[in-house]
């Protein structure tokens, strides 16, 4: 029976004869001996030494089962074990033109992502992504939220028509979901606090380092909630995930970016809260300049949306995330509830990550008044017909409620201090990339 490399490390089997299955990650052939680094299906690696007579046909990425005696060797890579091989079973001899080597451009690695997933970097990214998803599930499970799966082929926009992907739906037109929010909203009436991690799609025409055309969207919705409690839920969830990463994924984070661990250690709660108005005042006091629609430069003012540059300016000297609340109603989507204490603002909240990373989550309290919601939908030029079902939620038993959406890739990009969101995505989808 073959073992995994992690089992070998756990069980002290020095001296025993064991078999391991995996792929030839590195290969150094000498006259008598051949040195192999074997990678198993969990991405762990171990050093193995074989008589060269057994290894003549081996190539990088050939799949094999190797059998031999386990030795402790403090000089050996990863864990200090080495296998002295005396038998090799070959599953497949890989072609000699394997395109991934030591040095490749980022573009080549993306072109061959189906193979570059086998690099140490992408193995660690994959493990960290998996851990992050698991810790999210654990948190919602313990807190008693119900996980749901929403439809992804939909009839209407949630986040504006400009980024909708159209699909042919039999003899009709439909769209790929930009956000599961409206469906989550429909579920709180009978399933209580609900959440999901589902793909969201945005036809983003901008080529930026923080936008994908398809991303993993963690969204949650809860009845009878106010803005301050919604903020606490997000803070609690995010801090909990980060604490677990620090506890259980130090190895992956350290491999991917040593600086990140120090930065994660510096995060503390409560995360700062600032109103949009105070954020604008702060930016104006720093003489922050934006370009208007005609490309003219001017100071930022109340009513301007916070874009990547203004978010960078606001967060560049911070070490923990910051919540920005009470945005002007007109720059937020139709579903945002008007602030009863100040009609020009909406009860929306965005979470901005520190060190200039900017928005990682967006949400707030939903407009629960039918006539106000209809008015906002008219102003947003939505086709009300496509939203009759959504309006029914306000017609039959409307309640105060709210929720948020957290971009998993944005979150991971910040945790790892990576520039480009594509680096934390296994198969990135952008305007210029749909393969592999
Ligand atoms: O701010 P957004 O557009 O809000 C919504 O979709 C709400 N309906 C969510 C809700 O309240 N349930 O998106 C939420 C988050 C952003 O903060 C960002 O992290 C991520 O989704 N996001 C993207 N991530 C990668 N690429 C894109 N193109 C993204 N667009 C949004």
Strands 45-51 and 81-92: parallel
361 C-alpha to ligand 1 centroid (Å):
6
The protein residue whose alpha carbon is closest to atom 20 in ligand 1 is 407
The more confidently predicted of residues 227 and 76 is 227
Choice from 176, 179, 331, 347 to test ligand 1 binding pocket (greatest atom count within 8 A of CB)? 179
Task: For the chain, give percent helix, strand, coil, nearest 5.
Answer: 35, 30, 35
State yes or no: pLDDT of 249 exceeds 70.
yes
pLDDT at 232: 98
CB 370 within 8 A of CB 393: no
Of 176, 215, 220, the C-alpha closest to 199 is 215
State yes or no: pLDDT of 219 exceeds 80.
yes
117, HSE (Cβ side, Cα atoms, 13 Å): 13
122 is written with which tokens? 């992408």
Choice from 210, 237, 407, 422 to test ligand 1 binding pocket (greatest atom count within 8 A of CB)? 407
CB 160 within 8 A of CB 305: no
Using alpha carbons only, give the angle 285, 290, 291 rounded to the nearest 5 degrees. Answer: 155
Using alpha carbons only, give the angle 121, 68, 56 rounded to the nearest 5 degrees. Answer: 75
pLDDT band per the 50, 70, 90 thresholds, residue 316: very high
Q: Cα 129 to the chain's mean position, in Å?
A: 7
pLDDT at 103: 87
pLDDT at 80: 86
**Mind listing the pLDDT tens digit for each residue in 156-208?**
999 998 999 999 999 999 999 999 999 999 999 999 999 999 999 999 988 88
What kind of fold does domain 5-92 have according to CATH? OB fold (Dihydrolipoamide Acetyltransferase, E2P) (2.40.50)
pLDDT at 28: 97
Give the SS3 label for residue 436.
coil
CB 252 within 8 A of CB 260: no
The torsion angles phi and psi of 165, rounded to 5 degrees, stand at: -95, 125
pLDDT band per the 50, 70, 90 thresholds, residue 10: confident
**Mind listing the pLDDT tens digit for each residue in 90-145?**
999 999 999 999 889 999 999 999 999 999 999 999 999 999 999 999 999 999 99
State yes or no: pLDDT of 408 exceeds 80.
yes
CB 17 within 8 A of CB 64: no
What is the average per-residue pLDDT within 74-84? 82
**Mind listing the pLDDT tens digit for each residue in 112-124?**
999 999 999 999 9
Residue for token pair 């009863």: 340
pLDDT at 78: 67
pLDDT at 313: 97
- CATH number of 113-424: 3.20.20.80, 3.30.930.10, 3.30.565.10, 3.60.10.10? 3.30.930.10
147 C-alpha to ligand 1 centroid (Å):
19
Measured between alpha carbons, how far is 290 from 301 in angstroms, rounded to an integer?
A: 9
**Mind listing the pLDDT tens digit for each residue in 381-400?**
999 999 999 999 999 999 99
| Least confident range of 76-80, 204-208, 214-218, 234-238 | 76-80
Instruction: Please give the sequence-ordered ranges of beta strands (E in DSSP) within 293-373, or none if there are none.
Output: 297-299, 322-325, 338-339, 342-346, 348-353, 358-365
pLDDT at 311: 97
Measured between alpha carbons, how far is 4 from 15 in angstroms, rounded to an integer?
A: 17
The sign of the CA dihedral 291, 297, 301, 306 is positive
Of 284, 331, 329, the C-alpha closest to 305 is 331
The domain locations on the chain are 5-92, 113-424
pLDDT at 102: 83
Task: Tell me the sheet residues that pair with 342.
Answer: 339
**Mind listing the pLDDT tens digit for each residue in 279-312?**
999 999 999 999 888 889 999 999 999 999 999 9
Mean model confidence pLDDT for the chain: 96
Residue for token pair 């944005």: 410
State the pTM of this model.
0.97
DSSP class of 433: B
pLDDT at 11: 74
Largest CA distance in the chain: 83
98 C-alpha to ligand 1 centroid (Å):
37
Choice from 145, 215, 422 to test ligand 1 binding pocket (greatest atom count within 8 A of CB)? 215
Task: Tell me the sheet residues that pair with 199.
Answer: 216
């Amino acid at each position: 029976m073959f073992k995994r490399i992690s089992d070998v490390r756990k069980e002290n089997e020095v001296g025993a004869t064991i078999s391991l299955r995996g792929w030839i990650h590195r290969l150094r052939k000498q006259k008598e001996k051949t040195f192999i680094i074997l990678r198993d299906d969990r991405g762990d690696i171990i050093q193995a030494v074989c008589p060269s007579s057994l290894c003549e046909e081996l190539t990088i990425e050939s799949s094999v089962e190797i059998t031999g005696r386990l030795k402790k060797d403090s000089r050996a890579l990863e864990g200090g074990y080495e296998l002295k091989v005396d038998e090799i079973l070959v599953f497949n001899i890989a072609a000699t033109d394997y395109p991934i080597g030591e040095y490749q451009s980022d573009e080549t690695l993306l072109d061959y992502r189906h193979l570059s997933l086998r690099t140490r970097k992408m193995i660690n990214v994959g493990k960290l992504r998996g851990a992050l998803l698991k810790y999210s599930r654990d948190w919602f499970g313990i807190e008693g939220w119900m996980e749901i799966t929403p439809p992804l082929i939909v009839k209407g926009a949630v986040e504006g028509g400009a980024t909708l992907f159209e699909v042919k739906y039999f003899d009709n037109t439909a769209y790929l979901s930009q956000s599961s929010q409206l469906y989550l909203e429909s579920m709180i009436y009978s399933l209580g606090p609900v959440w999901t991690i589902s793909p969201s799609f945005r036809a983003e025409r901008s080529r930026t380092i923080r936008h994908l055309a398809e991303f993993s969207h963690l969204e949650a919705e809860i009845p009878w909630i106010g803005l301050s409690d919604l903020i606490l839920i997000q803070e609690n969830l995010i801090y909990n995930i980060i604490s677990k990463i620090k506890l259980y994924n130090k190895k992956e984070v350290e491999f991917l970016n040593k600086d990140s661990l120090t930065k994660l250690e510096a995060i503390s709660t409560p995360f700062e809260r600032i109103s949009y108005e105070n954020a604008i005042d702060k930016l104006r006091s720093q003489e922050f300049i934006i370009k208007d629609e005609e490309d003219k430069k001017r100071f930022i003012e109340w009513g301007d949306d916070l874009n990547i540059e203004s978010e960078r300016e606001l967060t560049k000297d911070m070490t923990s995330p910051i919540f920005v609340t009470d945005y002007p109603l007109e720059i937020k989507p139709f579903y945002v509830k008007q602030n009863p204490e100040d009609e020009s603002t909406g009860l929306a909240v965005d979470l901005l990550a520190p060190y200039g990373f900017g928005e990682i989550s967006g949400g707030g309290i939903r407009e629960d008044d039918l006539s106000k919601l209809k008015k906002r939908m008219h102003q947003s030029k939505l086709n009300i017909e496509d939203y009759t079902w959504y309006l029914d939620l306000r017609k039959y038993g409307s309640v105060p409620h709210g929720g948020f959406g957290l971009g998993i890739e944005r979150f991971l990009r910040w945790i790892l201090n990576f520039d480009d969101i594509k680096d934390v995505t296994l198969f990135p989808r952008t305007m210029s990339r749909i393969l592999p």
